[in-house]
Amino acid sequence: MPCSPLHTPLCDLLGVPAPIIQTGMGWVATPELVAAVSNAGGFGFLAGATIRPEDIDAAIEKTKALTPKPFGVNFLMDAPGADVIADALVRHRVRAAGYNRSPDGKLIQKLKDAGVLCIPTCGAPRHVQKAEQSGADAVVVQGGEGGGHTGTIPSSLLISACADAVKIPVIAAGGFKDGRGLVAALAFGAAGIAMGTRFLLTAESPVPPQTAQRYFAAGLTDVIVTEEIDGLPQRVVVNELVRELEAKSGAAKLLFALRNALAFRRTSGATIPQLLRSALALQANEKLTRSQLLMAANAPMLAKAAMTDGDPVGGYLPSGTVAGVIADRPTCAELIERIVREAEETLARLAPAKES
């Protein structure tokens, strides 16, 4: 699409034909999903945040074995083992690093020195400006319609404001699923779109059928923002777990979170000192209370219950609002081809070719 409006600076930056990114969803963005997206012409991000640091090399190698196309790795720079993951990105010459919390200047410089593109996720114009000043090559801007941790500003307003605030490419996230959305994002000033929920519900996604069915059954009003998961606003598909947490006392919630913290330590392999250092960094950057800090341990384990273990009742279902209007599970190739076709048809309808 070199002559098409859909061929944006983001395509040239990432080396892809379609300006469509798959976000690094924890437990979901596996090598299989990432490779399927990249093979289809988009750009996939591997979920480094839920991979043990000692296993990241194997995950990257598996992804490279499944696709010759470029892809990225998303991880938390304040988490235990972040330096190990950054070193792996450099060693394997991964195209891009995604991150969203507590950016580490030294790690960012290490990645940039090695030619790894830095693409953080932000939710406010001032954060986007700071990311650009810190060396970001592009930035994902997530509006309030996005899944997981989210803000309150609608994508339509936030994306335009952020695109006006910086010179680097802005990638629109929050409420995108089709070709019409891609055209709208370009009109807002973005250079492409990033999608989580839409790729979560594809054939190559590892999400078990029983969990996917809860997403398909959700209407627009079933996708809500709650602070019950980890003390911060998260957009989720409401389910039995959320209602149960709403009914728990404060002490019961903290005990529940403590159990999840211990479970996460076993799963991640992190030592207690490592977790404490990570927690202090998170508290300092996010201005969390002690209760919120402990509750933060809920999210990874409760997401694993739904996304990996197939328990959509006892796990939580992070979701963008678009879950309320998604009804199929295409392959990544089918989805990206459909988005590009719809976008081209939309552009043709808006600006029909003149008859000679």
pLDDT in tens, 159-218: 999 999 999 999 999 999 999 999 999 999 999 999 999 999 999 999 999 999 999 999
Q: Is residue 296 in some structural domain?
A: yes
Are residues 339 and 267 located together in one domain of the fold? no
Say how many residues make up the chain: 356
52 class by beta-carbon count within 10 Å (0-12 exposed, 13-18 middle, 19+ buried): middle
Are residues 57 and 180 located together in one domain of the fold? yes
The CA dihedral of 286, 117, 142, 208, to the nearest 10 degrees, is -100
Ranges of residues in the chain with a pLDDT under 70 are 1-3, 101, 258, 260-297, 353-356
pTM (2 d.p.): 0.90
HSE value, Cβ hemisphere, 13 Å, CA-based, for 212: 18
Q: Is residue 212 in some structural domain?
A: no
The residues, ordered by sequence, that sit 6+ positions from 32 with a Cβ below 8 Å of its Cβ are 66, 204, 206
Question: Please, are residues 20 and 193 in contact by the beta-carbon 8 Å criterion?
Answer: yes
Q: Is residue 171 in some structural domain?
A: yes
Q: Is residue 211 in some structural domain?
A: no
Are residues 346 and 255 located together in one domain of the fold? no
Q: Is residue 356 in some structural domain?
A: no
CATH number at residue 114: 3.20.20.70
Q: Is residue 210 in some structural domain?
A: no
Q: What's the token pair of residue 182?
A: 């891609």
Range of the domain at 148: 9-205+329-350
How many separate domains does the chain show?
Answer: 2
